[in-house]
């Protein structure tokens, strides 16, 4: 019995052609990312109106002014290396300072 490689090649080519070309699956456009305004309790501590204090040198007087303007019942000042609880409290205003006691970030939590 003689073996002819070409006799195997022709059926394989025919099988490959019979599957046909498939169109790529259409994809829907991804939904837009959520906006900060859409997230509930994102500003429960009043951080939004006091963002202009970022970059200022921190003082107790400035802390009181931030607390008054934000309306936050709880204010926490965090310096680099400070131990802090990891519980998230949307109504607590966190004032993050850098190593020079300059306000780096103000956020709820």
> Which two structure tokens, joined as six digits, stand for 104?
């780096």
- 91 within some domain: yes
- 14 within some domain: no
Phi and psi dihedrals of 105, rounded to 5? -160, 145
- 1 within some domain: no
The whole-number pLDDT of residue 42 equals 59
Per the structure, the complete domain to which residue 86 belongs is given by 55-108
Phi and psi dihedrals of 38, rounded to 5? -85, -15
Q: What are the per-10-residue average pLDDT scores of the chain (109 residues)?
A: 62 64 69 59 85 96 96 95 91 96 95
Residue among 46, 53, 45 at smallest CA distance from 97: 53
The whole-number pLDDT of residue 107 equals 95
- 78 within some domain: yes
CB 16 within 8 A of CB 40: no
- 92 within some domain: yes
> Which two structure tokens, joined as six digits, stand for 66?
């931030």
Q: What is the CATH number of the domain that holds 71?
A: 3.30.10.10
Question: How many angstroms separate the CA atoms of 106 and 97, rounded?
Answer: 9
The whole-number pLDDT of residue 106 equals 96
The whole-number pLDDT of residue 30 equals 76
Q: How many domains does the chain have?
A: 1
- 97 within some domain: yes
The whole-number pLDDT of residue 43 equals 84
pTM, full prediction? 0.62
């Amino acid at each position: 019995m003689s073996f002819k490689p070409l006799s195997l090649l022709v059926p394989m080519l025919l099988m490959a052609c019979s599957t046909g070309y498939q169109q790529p699956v259409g994809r829907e456009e991804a939904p837009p990312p959520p906006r900060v305004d859409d997230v509930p309790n994102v500003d429960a501590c009043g951080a939004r109106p006091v963002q202009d204090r970022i970059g200022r040198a921190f003082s107790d007087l400035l802390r009181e002014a931030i607390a008054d303007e934000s309306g936050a019942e709880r204010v926490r000042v965090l310096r680099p290396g400070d131990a802090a609880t990891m519980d998230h409290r949307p109504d607590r205003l966190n004032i993050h300072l850098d190593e020079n006691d300059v306000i780096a970030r103000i956020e709820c939590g």
